């Protein structure tokens, strides 16, 4: 198929995105793929869930991104006794005005770190649902819009650790991408010691972009062209999850939309104004891994979610691109 691509001013945007990547390299060592995934979610107007062990740099990553973008940073430390109002805010009676005034909670930030989200109760976890999906908070019958841009990076410890509450499917589905940080290589860990052993690079970090830039990038990302055959490829992948023998819960249409928008943003971070099948294949595990459920039989037989996604990708026909015209 031949692709006819809309004009998107790539040179200017790519230069700005590269300045962010370069700025982050001064603080976040050896995590180019993770940084690209976070930028993908940010540009696609989605949110990230990072599941990994403590100490691999999750908090440092989100703080560095907030500083690079000049965005207001807020942190929510989830604990078992945290209340929903501790996240969203609450109304307090003002004796002087004799009226209730809403005091915004820490969710009212532009870049929000929801740290160890699976350490709090399901009731408090659910307080994030409206914010993640609609970018607003409703309290006492009033709806309050969250700042723009709004981006949540949530972290969680692996479920097998003690004292955790697994996120329900409805909550997981609100996150665009889920991935892990992973341990650094030997060379990267040595570089971390050199960079962070005697100084704190984050403190000297300066903004290289602004919140208004993020809003502009999001608009441009929506113009990245997705050929009809690639959109059909996305749908076939998601449809296959609903029929696979290993799964008792397949991905919803929200997953199709998530994969579509992620592919647009991922292509944009690669300097392209069009999506290719490899964009979709690369992102599929990160978009689908938290949106499906293995059957008990599949788990007992040793099947994994990652292996099942790989099987689906291997059996779904890849559309071919014969040329690109501008």
Express each pLDDT in 280-315 by its tens digit.
999 999 999 999 999 999 999 999 999 999 999 999
pLDDT at 244 over 80: yes
Q: Residue 173 is encoded by which pair of tokens?
A: 């589905």
Report residue 3's pLDDT band, with 50, 70 and 90 as the boundaries.
very low
Phi, psi of 233 (to 5 degrees): -60, -45
Q: pLDDT value at position 8?
A: 52
Distance, in Å, from the CA atom of 120 to the CA atom of 111, rounded to the nearest integer, reads 20
Q: pLDDT value at position 312?
A: 96
Mean pLDDT of the chain: 89
**73-97 average pLDDT score:** 90
Question: What topology is assigned to 9-223 in CATH?
Answer: Rossmann fold (3.40.50)
**57-75 average pLDDT score:** 93
CATH 1.10.8.80 holds for 224-326: yes
Q: Are strands 177-179 and 48-51 parallel, antiparallel or unpaired?
A: parallel
Interior/surface letters 22-42, b for 16+ CB within 10 angstroms, e for the rest? ebbeebbbbbeebbbbbbbbb
Report residue 12's pLDDT band, with 50, 70 and 90 as the boundaries.
low
Q: What is the location of CATH 1.10.8.80 in the chain?
A: 224-326
Q: What is the location of CATH 3.40.50.300 in the chain?
A: 9-223
**143-158 average pLDDT score:** 92
DSSP-derived secondary structure letter, 30: S
**81-95 average pLDDT score:** 89
């Amino acid at each position: 198929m031949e692709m006819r691509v809309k004009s998107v001013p790539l040179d200017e945007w790519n230069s700005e995105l590269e300045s962010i990547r370069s700025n982050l390299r001064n603080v976040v060592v050896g995590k180019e793929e993770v940084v690209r995934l976070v930028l993908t979610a940010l540009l696609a107007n989605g949110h990230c869930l990072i599941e990994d062990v403590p100490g691999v740099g999750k908090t440092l990553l989100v703080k560095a991104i907030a500083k690079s973008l000049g965005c207001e940073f807020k942190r929510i430390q989830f604990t078992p006794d945290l209340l929903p109002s501790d996240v969203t805010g609450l109304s307090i009676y003002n004796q002087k005005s004799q009226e209730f005034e809403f005091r915004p909670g820490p969710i009212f930030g532009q870049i929000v770190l929801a740290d160890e989200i699976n350490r709090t109760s399901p009731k408090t976890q659910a307080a994030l649902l409206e914010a993640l999906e609609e970018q607003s908070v409703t309290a006492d019958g009033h709806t309050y819009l969250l700042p723009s841009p709004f981006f949540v990076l949530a972290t969680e410890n692996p479920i097998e650790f003690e004292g955790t509450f697994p996120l329900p499917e409805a909550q997981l589905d609100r996150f665009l991408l889920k991935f892990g940080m992973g341990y650094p290589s030997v060379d990267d860990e040595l570089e971390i010691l050199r960079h962070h052993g005697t100084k704190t690079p984050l403190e000297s970090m300066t903004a290289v972009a602004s919140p208004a830039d993020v809003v502009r990038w999001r608009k441009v990302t929506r113009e990245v062209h997705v050929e009809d055959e690639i959109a059909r490829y996305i749908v076939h992948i998601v449809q296959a999850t609903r029929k696979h023998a290993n799964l008792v819960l397949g991905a919803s249409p929200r997953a199709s939309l998530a994969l579509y928008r992620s592919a647009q943003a991922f292509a944009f971070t690669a300097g392209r104004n069009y999506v290719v099948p490899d964009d979709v294949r690369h992102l599929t595990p990160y978009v689908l891994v938290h949106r499906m459920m293995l059957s008990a039989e599949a788990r007992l037989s040793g099947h994994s979610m990652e292996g099942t996604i790989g099987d689906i990708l291997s059996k779904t026909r890849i559309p071919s691109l014969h040329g690109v015209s501008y």
